Structures are given as structure tokens and as C-alpha cells.
């Protein structure tokens, strides 16, 4: 998701869509709030939003004394990564073996997703504010999906020009998503784009050009 989800709207149709991708009647959905520093406010918002849905919500924290996080993630049907600091999350995940647990979850068919940093993390590269207020390229994502990603494409003034300039200068091509839009990949193939706003869409960004991808409004 380029932006949105439960933190912006507890009844977000993007979250309903994510749950619908699971084959389980009552999926086990786990928030991984590492990018937000395991912030209590976001965790509370997650439980408030998902307690009203037909699922079993849980949360895996890494700050403090994590108790076998890889084992907890192995039991989940849906893993939802929060927004926040992409680079910090990747470092902690690698320290605790969460990166390998997430790849194993993807390989067994779990639904993986998230907002902003929670979308950046799945790609090889992304555009991030992890290193300060200025946007910068990040080259060491999980690499579940190839190429690059940029969230908040219409929500933050500098996202589009910075990403376009990076790709024109040799940064791997990839996808961008407006706030309220989400890209649904099946394996590594883009299946569709969905949105919770009529004007939200995604884009394929390559050197010298940007191609809009129409979204199905939920």
C-alpha cells in the first residue's frame, strides 16, 4: 500500500482486501510494527481495527525481549508490516532472523503486505526517509519482489520527482503507489491494483517514462 490502512481509517477497504487474499475462513493476522519502533499507538489502532473483523489478530514486537519471533510468524496466515523506518526494520529483522521467516512465509503462501515502509521492505530497492528528512535510495530490501518501490506518490510533494530522477539516473525501475492504492502481487507477478479512493492509482516507473496503472476501486 502506498499509504492508508487501519492507522488512517479503522474500516479501510484495503485491509479488508488484504484479509480476503487468505484462503482461511478466519485468518491469523499478525502485525509486525518494527518500522514504527513497536509504537503502542499503532499497535492499539491495529487491534481496534482488526478486532471487528473475522480474523485472529496478534502482534510480534522486536523491541525489548522478543520471544522467538520467527516461530510466531510461522504460525500466521497474514503478516501486516507497519509504516515507519524501513532501514531500521530491515536491520532488526536480520538480527533476529525475521527476514528469513518472512521469506519462508511467502514461500508457503502466506499473505504479506503493509503500508509505506511496510511496502518498501518487500522490494530490492525503495525510496525512503529512513536516513533523515530528505528522501534517499535504499538498496538492501528483502528482495522478495524485484526492482524498486516508492510509496506516497501523490501524498508527499517530493516523492514523484525524487523517484523519477533516481530511476533516470540508474536506480532500478519499479512501481509507485498513491496513498489509498495497493499493488497485489501473486508470487512475483503483478495481478492488479486496488484503491479506496477514485483517483488513487499505481505507476510503472522506468527511465524516461512513467505509465499509470488503473486501479479497481474497492
Q: Which listed residue (36, 126, 152, 195) is catalytic?
A: 152
Instruction: Give the Cα separation of 92 and 69 in Å (integer).
Output: 11
DSSP 50: H
Closest CA relative to residue 128, chosen from 95, 83, 80: 83
Residue length of the chain: 218
Instruction: Give the Cα separation of 91 and 95 in Å (integer).
Output: 6
Q: Which listed residue (22, 36, 82, 116) is catalytic?
A: 116
Element (H, E) at 179: none
To which residue does cell 510468524 refer?
Answer: 73
Instruction: Give the Cα separation of 142 and 16 in Å (integer).
Output: 25
The β-bridge relationship of strands 78-81 and 111-114 is: parallel
Residues near 25 by Cβ (< 8 Å), separated by ≥ 6?
54
Q: Has 36 been annotated as catalytic? A: no
Q: Has 152 been annotated as catalytic? A: yes
Catalytic site positions = 116, 152
Amino acid at each position: 500500500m502506498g499509504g492508508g490502512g487501519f492507522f488512517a481509517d479503522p474500516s479501510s477497504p484495503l485491509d479488508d482486501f488484504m484479509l480476503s487474499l487468505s484462503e482461511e475462513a478466519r485468518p491469523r493476522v499478525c502485525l509486525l510494527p518494527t518500522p514504527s519502533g513497536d509504537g503502542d499507538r499503532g499497535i492499539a489502532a491495529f487491534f481496534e481495527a482488526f478486532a471487528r473483523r473475522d480474523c485472529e489478530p496478534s502482534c510480534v514486537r522486536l523491541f525489548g525481549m522478543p520471544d522467538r519471533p520467527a516461530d510466531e510468524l510461522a504460525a500466521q496466515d497474514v503478516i501486516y508490516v507497519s509504516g515507519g523506518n524501513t532501514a531500521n526494520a530491515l536491520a532488526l529483522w536480520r538480527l533476529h532472523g525475521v527476514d528469513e521467516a518472512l521469506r519462508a512465509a511467502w514461500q508457503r503462501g502466506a499473505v504479506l503486505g503493509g503500508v509505506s515502509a511496510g511496502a518498501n521492505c518487500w522490494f530490492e530497492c525503495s525510496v525512503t526517509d529512513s536516513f533523515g528528512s530528505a528522501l534517499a535510495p535504499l538498496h538492501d530490501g528483502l528482495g522478495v519482489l524485484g526492482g524498486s518501490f516508492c510509496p506516497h506518490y501523490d501524498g508527499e510533494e517530493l516523492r514523484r520527482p525524487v523517484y523519477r530522477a533516481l530511476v533516470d539516473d540508474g536506480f532500478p525501475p519499479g512501481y509507485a503507489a498513491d496513498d489509498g492504492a495497493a499493488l497485489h502481487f501473486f508470487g512475483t507477478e503483478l495481478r492488479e491494483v486496488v484503491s479506496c479512493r477514485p483517483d488513487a492509482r499505481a505507476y510503472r516507473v522506468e527511465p524516461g517514462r512513467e505509465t499509470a496503472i488503473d486501479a479497481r476501486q474497492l
